[in-house]
Structure 1
Amino acid sequence: MHAITHDQATMHWTEVADLPAPGPGEVKLRVAWAGVNRADLAQLAGKYPPPPGASETLGLEVSGTVTEIGADVQDIDVDQQVCALLAGGGYAEQVVVDVRQLLPIPDGLSLRDAAALPEVFATAWLNLYMEAAMQPGERALIHAGASGVGSAAIQLCRAFGNPCFVTVGSQKKRDACEALGAAASWNRHDGDFIDAVKDWGGADVILDPVGASYLAANQKVLNPDGRMVVIAMLGGNRAELDYGRLLMKRQRLIGSTLRARPPEQKGHILTQLRERVWPKLAQGKIKPLIHKSWPITQAAEAHDYLKTDANIGKLLLAVSKEK
């Protein structure tokens, strides 16, 4: 098979050994499409190594076709089309994955559509509705609203009765996020968002991939009993926490990652997605938002594009010619 290999931040589409047969509870997929995520950029830069035992190959989500089934696997058939959440290995023609990390392709969606679902919807659902336990009517502040995770979070908020305010980097992105269902938005280049979010009513839940540089402002707009879930550190990893505000407003600060969770935890998250979100995808109430795609041989170009922060939604890599 072929896979992306990398050294010193350079990627190569190279012939490598086929993967072994799937073990108990695993399946092997022929990969059709792979999602591109900022975690891939971080891993390539040497800042985000895969969890112990995971593939060194980049790629945290794929869609494809089941080619082999291991022992003790039920309700999955050879030639079935699925999508999968991975700890690594997606930039390749084959991947072996725990069956608990598979999801069926929602009715009416293609393999290309499905590759845009696992990582972003699992991340958004986990952090808004499991970690933060957001209830109907509560208000969410979503930073980087035009990203893959952000665009998924906006749609989940709209579908489950949660008004959301988003921060983005351009008027074009503001327009796109409001078209997806955001109740209000702010261009971060126009200054801090504090007054705008307070005037909107504050936030009960904050989904934050920025980290340190937003901590003080986040605390100021977080309502009493509010929850702030930090999922990345694009704005740095150290900042001063206002303990007085934390205590007086009963704020909760939650750190959350998805990649290193064991298969049983990922399976629990994906079961909720299948039960709560997949029907809305099949009904067209939620849609995958794909900005652009490239052949897998042009993975470097896709990474360069992601670095420009120009995307509204997901970036994908075409690994095979399957539709």
Structure 2
Amino acid sequence: MRAIEITEPGGPEVLKWHEVPEPSVGPGDVLIDVTASAVNRADVLQRQGFYDPPPGTSPYPGLEVSGVVAQVGASVEQFKPGDEVCALLAGGGYAERVAVPWQQVMPVPERVSPREAAGLPEVACTVWSNVFMIGRLRKGETLLVHGGASGIGTFAIQLAKALGARVVTTVGSAEKAERVRALGADEVINYREDDFSERVRADVILDIMGGRYLAGNIRALNTGGRLVIIGLQGGRKAEIDLGAMLSKRVAVHATTLRARPVDDKGVIVRSVVDNVWPLVAAGAVRPVVHAEVPMADAAEAHRMLDSGEHVGKILLVR
């Protein structure tokens, strides 16, 4: 089969479409003929040499796919050849085929095309597990989403609104502000012009920035608020004011998804199918696709992501 290999750490030009060995299929695996994958920030970090895949997983980038089941392992009863599915991966999505533990495989939700479904697993599992399972966002509370025009952000806005929350988000341009308002954001803050911590008080904050935003995030939390950090685009380190945390009784969580054990991911995946897929099928939440790029041209898709001008997901299609 063919897959995108990272020939050396570097820019998008190091992504090459090469012949590679077929994936092996274990007893608990599902082999998927890939229809599409999607580009995530973690893929960029892996390309740059900063985020190696977990031990024992595929060396190729790509944390999600959609496609058709080609083969199942001897112990798999939940799926069969011919099923249309999408899947959460630890890697290997930029390829013609990928083998995935069955626990991380999901049916394609209704009202979503097979290609669009490739842009759902990573954002749905990330948002559901962090905002709702860890952050415990409830109806009537306020969610602050940093980077509202990203794939994660566009999904978080829609899902939180569908479940009755008020949503505030940060963006970097007037054009992006208009797009996220159309998705349901109640308030939009241009981070280039305003200090979000002076504008909003939130019960849950979903943060991709890390260090640079830590103090502002704690200021922006309501009493009993929950900060969930899922990215470090603003740095790994910051000084924390424990007194401010104590006075407001806030909690700070820092989480990743990629390296979790398969069974942990399986719990999240099943919860997404039970709680999120019905909202997708009802049309309350939809994938936001910025562009579709041939998988062999993954370098161009990475350039799009690096530019920061996209809204939603960039798909790699076969």
Assess same fold via TM > 0.5. Answer: yes
Tell me how far 1:282 sits from its aligned partner: 1.0
Amino acid paired to 1:104? P
Aligned to 2:22: 18
Aligned to 1:88: 91
Tell me how far 1:11 sits from its aligned partner: 1.1
Aligned to 2:250: 251
Within 5 Å, which residues of 2 pair with 1:97-176? Answer: 97-176=100-179
Query: What secondary structure does 2:35 align onto?
Result: strand
Q: Partners in 1 of 2:195 and 2:306 — Cα distance?
A: 23
Aligned to 1:276: 275
Tell me how far 1:191 sits from its aligned partner: 3.0
Contact 2:206 2:228 in 1 (8 A): yes
Query: What secondary structure does 2:23 align onto?
Result: coil
Q: Partners in 1 of 2:305 and 2:111 — Cα distance?
A: 28
Match of 1:196 among 196, 199, 203: 199
Amino acid paired to 1:274? V
Tell me how far 1:280 sits from its aligned partner: 1.2
Deviations 1:133-152 (A, max 9, x none): 11211111100011000011
Bigger shift: 131-140 or 163-172?
Answer: 131-140
Deviations 1:270-299 (A, max 9, x none): 111111110111111111110111101110
Q: Partners in 2 of 1:108 and 1:305 — Cα distance?
A: 27
Tell me how far 1:163 sits from its aligned partner: 0.4
Query: What secondary structure does 2:286 align onto?
Result: coil
The alignment status of 1:228 with 2:238, answered yes or no, reads no
Amino acid paired to 1:220? R
Tell me how far 1:108 sits from its aligned partner: 2.5
Tell me how far 1:194 sits from its aligned partner: 2.0
Aligned to 1:78: 81
Match of 1:56 among 48, 56, 59: 59
Tell me how far 1:77 sits from its aligned partner: 1.5
Query: What secondary structure does 1:235 align onto?
Result: coil
Work out the number of aligned pairs and report it: 314
Tell me how far 1:195 sits from its aligned partner: 2.1
Aligned to 2:312: 313
Deviations 1:115-134 (A, max 9, x none): 01000111011100011111
Query: What secondary structure does 1:316 align onto?
Result: strand
Contact 2:34 2:95 in 1 (8 A): yes
Aligned to 2:37: 34
Amino acid paired to 1:268? V
Tell me how far 1:175 sits from its aligned partner: 1.0
CA RMSD of superposed structures (Å):
0.9
Contact 2:36 2:67 in 1 (8 A): yes
Amino acid paired to 2:228? V
Q: Partners in 2 of 1:169 and 1:298 — Cα distance?
A: 27
Tell me how far 1:171 sits from its aligned partner: 0.8
Amino acid paired to 2:208? P
Aligned to 1:302: 301
Q: Partners in 1 of 2:317 and 2:148 — Cα distance?
A: 25
Contact 2:63 2:91 in 1 (8 A): yes
Q: Partners in 2 of 1:212 and 1:105 — Cα distance?
A: 36
Q: Partners in 1 of 2:218 and 2:283 — Cα distance?
A: 36
What TM-score, normalized by structure 2, do the two folds share? 0.97
Tell me how far 1:107 sits from its aligned partner: 1.6
Query: What secondary structure does 2:252 align onto?
Result: strand
Q: Partners in 1 of 2:144 and 2:237 — Cα distance?
A: 21
Percentage of pairs with the same residue: 46
Query: What secondary structure does 1:185 align onto?
Result: strand
* Over 6 Å off, 4+ runs: none
Q: Partners in 1 of 2:279 and 2:135 — Cα distance?
A: 21
Tell me how far 1:234 sits from its aligned partner: 0.2
Tell me how far 1:66 sits from its aligned partner: 0.5
Q: Partners in 2 of 1:293 and 1:108 — Cα distance?
A: 18
Amino acid paired to 1:232? G
| Uncovered stretches (5+) of structure 2, i.e. residues with no partner | none
Amino acid paired to 1:235? G
Q: Partners in 1 of 2:138 and 2:281 — Cα distance?
A: 23
Q: Partners in 2 of 1:78 and 1:108 — Cα distance?
A: 22
Q: Partners in 2 of 1:237 and 1:108 — Cα distance?
A: 39
